[in-house]
Structure 1
Amino acid sequence: MMTATASIPLVPRVTPAHPARRVGPRAWGGSGGWRRPRIGIRMDRRSAGDAPKPPADNSDLEPEQRDYTGTLKQYEEVPLVPKKLPAMLFPAEEVLLPGSAQVLHLYEARFLALLDEVTNETGGLFAHVTFLPPAQGEADDGGLRVNQVATLVRVEEVQREEVGAKVTIIGESRMTLRELEEKSQRGYLVGTFVPIPVMQDDGSATYKPSKTELDEVEALADFIDDAVNDCVALVDKLLDGDGDEKLWDLSEAANEVEWGHGEVGNLKRAMAWIEGPYVTLDMLEMPCSMSERDWLRDAVEERVKHSELQLAERLSFACLQVAPASTEADYARLVSCRNVAMSAQHGLMDRLRLGKILLEEQRSALRAKVALKSAFGGAAEKDDAN
């Protein structure tokens, strides 16, 4: 991901909490989840346990150079209008992709002031910006290396508490950071951003994919859809299919986040997001309150119509979710995938290939865990019988 070096003092954030590992059994499918229409193109399926072991250096995640067989579009360039938004800083390993969810417990006065501005003036939108640690061999001068690609996040829910507020946020789209400055009067950061264009009906603003490329996109999306639903079944087996929806409910996971922040999204929530409306920076007209700007109205009124390419673009972000029972190594691998996916240097095909790699590994790991549980569970049942 591209970075910019900025001499910005580290603004204290909410106390960090370990990213939540809880993802529910309906997280990866079930009612309300996204299912691709079948159009007859399939990919070769690996047999159980055949997912490749990832290289220790994650070198397989960096997309390879490929030949482009589509055509460049003739278009009139529309100048991007920079806009200022309140911003919060997070470490690079907590990058929030479009379609992912996070809960913030805000209790410091400056962050509650930020929340007031967001809910009353920016339609519930603000910037989720990540920073990197000092580069190896580089002196730590107190400044930050800030990623140039940030996430436009939407406040989905605010729960006022005895101390502060618990805020559920959803990643919506990507933006390019132009400038980041401290808003001294109220103590939080404000950034100047421009939107990264989203997919159009027939391709990007400048490129129309060929039939061969469209077929590959469809095949990759089809594979991801199958892998997601395989993971659903495996998670149900791993949890004995106890049907305890509380284990998978977003609000239940949010309740566990205290005095910090944590990732609470899951594949069910992310798959439902795919069919929702685009929310991009260029759509925001300020000032406006959350109540005035209902971003999901089109979805409620069933007016959202995405093309196959637009659905595939949203899927390419949404499929990169935390798997149940993830290890620290699994989570580090996911973070590497997400950072590549956020980069403006890579496109739809690259992200779909990342999703395929990650879901192959997650499915293989879940199969192994289910097999182990079955083996040890069977032995325990025999002991009980004796």
Structure 2
Amino acid sequence: MSLSVSCPLYVFLGSSRKVHIRNQRKLSTSKRRRFSPKASSLVLPLLPFNVNEVLVPCESKILHLYEARYLALLEESLIRKNLFVHFVLDPIAISDSAAEVSFAARFGCLVLIENVERLDVGALITIRGIGRVKIIKFFQAEPYLKGEVIPMQDTAPDCSSDVISSELSAVKDAVYSLNILEIKLKAPKEALLQTQIVNSLLWADKEPSLDCDDAFIPSLPERISFAAFQPVTGSSQSEVVKLQQKKLTVMDLKDTEQRLYDSLELLKENISMVVAKLAIQSIEIQ
């Protein structure tokens, strides 16, 4: 799926349009990871998207960059170890009575550029979500956004826990079961690859090799907990919208075990959906 990137940056300019960073939903102190002043940070280009295009860790997608400012962002990202930050600009009301709307910078995801294809107009780049980040400071708005980010991870899960191990195995088994069914579906040429979820799982199952602080790389259980939150071949528009809402929820979540549970429930729903579509497909063939 190719995406053309075009997002207004004027919201970051001028004293009357300050960026409002929305606080994440409140979590108990035991579930929240606090950042110390000495937390690792990176200064990177920032690429904004609307709330319907949140990117989760492990997810891969293709972007078509063609505006001069975004091509400049690409060149700097390549210099900065193929890294930049994909984040969502979420519209929020300044006050209940005001018609004016500001934006919150939310759902940041550190991404790795996996491939660049130069075109006559712009470039196609394949990116992979690595882990969640929080934008703590903006340095520039022109020609593209740049800011300082710190890592955001779940409260460290006990990887040796029987519950975590069991849920990891269940999620992996469900992903492979879904993939076996999914590749049987007839899909139009423009449809997403039918191996998208399993490819994300395979990527998550390995330790990423990145030239950055390890604090930006989520744990194995956390990586795998995100792998299932991607579109399934043949998804309807309403199913895609439902998935977007789930992605927003799990990006806020700080509990790996809960996300693994949510991931497994989504996989079960998708398996049932694909089984139904295969049944309809078999009737149409007869």
Same fold (TM over 0.5): yes
Matched, 1:195 2:125: no
| Matching residue within 31, 49, 74 for 1:90 | 49
Larger of the two Rg values belongs to structure: 1
1:241-320 counterparts in 2 under 5 A? 266-278=196-208, 282-283=212-213, 310-320=219-229
Letter in 2 for 1:114: L
1: CA distance between counterparts of 2:64 and 2:250?
Answer: 27
1:101-131, CA deviations, whole angstroms, 9 ceiling, x for partnerless residues?
A: 12111111111111111112x1110011112
Aligned to 1:46: none
The answer for unaligned runs of 5 or more in structure 1 is 1-7, 12-61, 69-76, 254-263, 285-305, 379-386
Q: Which range moved further: 189-198 or 365-374?
A: 189-198
Give the match for residue 217 of structure 1. 164
Q: Conserved in 2, the CA contact under 8 Å of 1:9 and 1:143?
A: no
Q: Which residue of the other structure, out of 90, 115, 126, is the alignment partner of 2:74?
A: 115
Kindly tell me: are residues 280 and 142 of structure 1, through their superposed partners in 2, closer, same or farther at Cα, counting changes over 3 Å? farther
Residues 101, 265 of structure 1: 8 Å contact kept: no
Amino acid at match of 1:9: Y
Look up the match of 1:336: 245
For 1:124, which of 70, 76, 82 is the aligned residue?
82
SS for the counterpart of 1:168 is strand
Q: TM-score, normalised by structure 1?
A: 0.59
- Whichever structure has more strand as a proportion of its residues is 2
Q: 2:126 aligns with which of 168, 177, 181?
A: 168
Match for 1:133: what amino acid?
P
SS of 2:184's equivalent? helix
Aligned mates of 2:103, 2:207 — CA distance in 1: 34
Could you tell me the TM-score, scaled by structure 2's length? 0.77
Distance 1:10 1:166, change over 3 A: farther
Report the residue type matching 2:182 in the other structure.
Answer: V
Kindly tell me the number of residue pairs found equivalent between the two proteins.
Answer: 257
CA contact (8 A) 1:10 1:142 kept: no
Compare 136-145 and 322-331 and name the one that shifted more: 136-145
The answer to whether the Cα contact below 8 Å between 2:182 and 2:233 also exists between their aligned partners in 1 is yes
**Equivalent residue runs for 1:1-386 within 5 Å:** 9-10=10-11, 79-120=38-79, 122-135=80-93, 137=96, 139-141=98-100, 143-147=102-106, 149-184=107-142, 187-197=143-153, 204=156, 208=158, 214-239=161-186, 266-278=196-208, 282-283=212-213, 310-343=219-252, 345-378=253-286
Letter in 1 for 2:172: D
| CA distance, structure 1, for counterparts of residue 42 and residue 99 of structure 2 | 31
Shift of 1:197: 4.3
Q: Deviating runs (4+, > 4 A) in structure 1? A: 135-138, 279-282
CA contact (8 A) 2:207 2:220 kept: no
Please give the root-mean-square deviation of Cα atoms over the aligned residues, in Å. 3.4
Superposed displacement of residue 181, structure 1: 4.4
Partner-residue secondary structure (3-state), 2:10: coil
In the superposition, relative to structure 1, how do residues 164 and 350 fare at CA in structure 2: closer, same or farther (>3 Å)?
A: same
SS in structure 2 of the partner of residue 237 of structure 1: coil
Q: Give the distance between the partners of 2:173 and 2:41, measured in 1 at CA.
A: 40
Question: Contact between 1:153 and 1:172, CA under 8 Å: does it hold in 2?
Answer: yes
